[in-house]
Structure 1
């Protein structure tokens, strides 16, 4: 038995922003969401550089070391962002978050830097499999804030690290998969404004991936969509 990922992506600039700084990639075994920062047009450039650098992994043979492959590609992206900043002072401070999922046999490697997230729905239950690199998440870890408090905190979008040409420490894990699993990768334009319970209900109640992705975007727009929003909905399917 072999397993494949069947995935679709959807993105929207939201109701407030004048441009979309998110970038997205859906390959045969690699999924990426990157949320650029640094303002127009630097944020768009940073996320685009990252996706272009990391997406090459999709076409490479499975080495059996998917986390290391992703980390190496992130290093290349970081170097290219550093070079782009050096070329233009106006780009100083630009960078991007990233969440990526790479299929390797009967497992996936999940990697993130910043606050773009990856969720898994298994047996109807939603679980977040990445951990935000944010100020409020650090306060939650210290017991200063509850997760509910963190959702309402005015500094909830303050990231503590990103891919921006300097040192960073990506967080990665391997996740065993099985047919019927559904993954969601998203920028914080979704997770900051739509409750996890609503995300879970949407992922469970819309079997068709295209419809589900569109509905997640619609949920964000209904919540005011002050930020760009990007989602990937991916199903694990058994292939004969």
Structure 2
């Protein structure tokens, strides 16, 4: 049985920011979210550069090794950031998270760096399929290895401090996975402007209740804004469906956030 993804993407500036430093992409084979950082212009440039570079993967060409192809594309995007930093010294502090998925039939590669997140709704359960690259999570992992737990105050202070991002420097390698999708799967990629405000239980309820990807995104963005919207909010949803389920072909790829204005 042939499957495709039915997708939607949305982005909102939030309630506290003056500009949108997030970028999102959704297409027939590629979905991605990047959350930029590094000053007023830096975040916009970083996220849009990376998403703009990755979108070349969204083609009908057969790929022998999805993980290798996606990893190589992320490395090329990081190299473009290096070039931009050299040309624009004022952007020396810029960087971006990235969570991206590349499909070929039921097989999907996942690349992740930073604290944007990937979720999977499957058989009535919600799973977080990425690990935040924050100092808090690093402290927790180290404490677990030593049979203890990190100091709560120290962990809280470092909750949003990233130790891995794409910023044009060497050795900025993402976590890479090869996964098998199933008919009926629903995938959500989102920036921390959503996941830091809307708790996993509420995300589960929305993803379960809303039949259409676009409708689920609208509700999640609204809830993040109602929760204060302290950051930009970006989400991409992909549903794995039968080819015949999508009667009319979707109207091409969707870009949202900073990359939509490049």
Please indicate the TM-score interval, normalised by the length of the shorter structure.
Answer: over 0.9
Structure 2 unmatched ranges of 5 or more: 245-262
Separation in structure 1 between the aligned mates of residue 74 and residue 103 of structure 2, nearest angstrom: 17
Structure 1 unmatched ranges of 5 or more: none
After superposing the two structures, state which structure 1 stretch, 104-113 or 6-15, moved more: 104-113
Residue of 190, 195, 205 corresponding to 1:186: 190
Counterpart of 2:15 in structure 1 is 15
CA deviation vs aligned residue, 1:59-78 (integer Å, no higher than 9, x gap): 25121311111111111111
Separation in structure 1 between the aligned mates of residue 214 and residue 177 of structure 2, nearest angstrom: 27
Which runs of at least 4 in structure 1 moved beyond 3 Å after TM superposition?
A: none
Flag the structure with more relative contact order, 1 or 2, with Cα contacts below 8 A and sequence separation at least 6: 2
Is the 1:27–1:58 Cα contact (8 Å) retained in structure 2? yes
Counterpart of 1:160 in structure 2 is 163
Separation in structure 2 between the aligned mates of residue 205 and residue 155 of structure 1, nearest angstrom: 34
Q: Normalising by the residue count of structure 2, what TM-score does the alignment of the two structures yield? A: 0.86
CA deviation vs aligned residue, 1:39-92 (integer Å, no higher than 9, x gap): 111110011110111110112512131111111111111111111111121101
Is the 2:75–2:173 Cα contact (8 Å) retained in structure 1? no
Residue of 209, 212, 216 corresponding to 1:208: 212
User: Is 1:35 the counterpart of 2:38 in the alignment?
Assistant: no
Q: Normalising by the residue count of structure 1, what TM-score does the alignment of the two structures yield? A: 0.94
Separation in structure 2 between the aligned mates of residue 120 and residue 145 of structure 1, nearest angstrom: 28
Classify the secondary structure of the residue corresponding to 1:86: helix
- How far the C-alpha of 1:145 sits from its partner, in A, is 4.7
CA distance 1:3–1:186, change in 2 (3 Å):
same
Counterpart of 1:177 in structure 2 is 181
Separation in structure 2 between the aligned mates of residue 62 and residue 216 of structure 1, nearest angstrom: 34
- How far the C-alpha of 1:107 sits from its partner, in A, is 1.7
CA deviation vs aligned residue, 1:121-171 (integer Å, no higher than 9, x gap): 00110001111111111122233359xx79x92432211111101121210
Please give the residue correspondences for 1:55-134 in structure 2 after superposition, counting only pairs within 5 Å.
Answer: 55-59=55-59, 61-134=61-134
Is the 1:99–1:111 Cα contact (8 Å) retained in structure 2? yes
Q: Calculate the aligned-residue CA RMSD, in Å.
A: 1.6
User: Is 1:238 the counterpart of 2:242 in the alignment?
Assistant: yes
Separation in structure 1 between the aligned mates of residue 122 and residue 164 of structure 2, nearest angstrom: 29
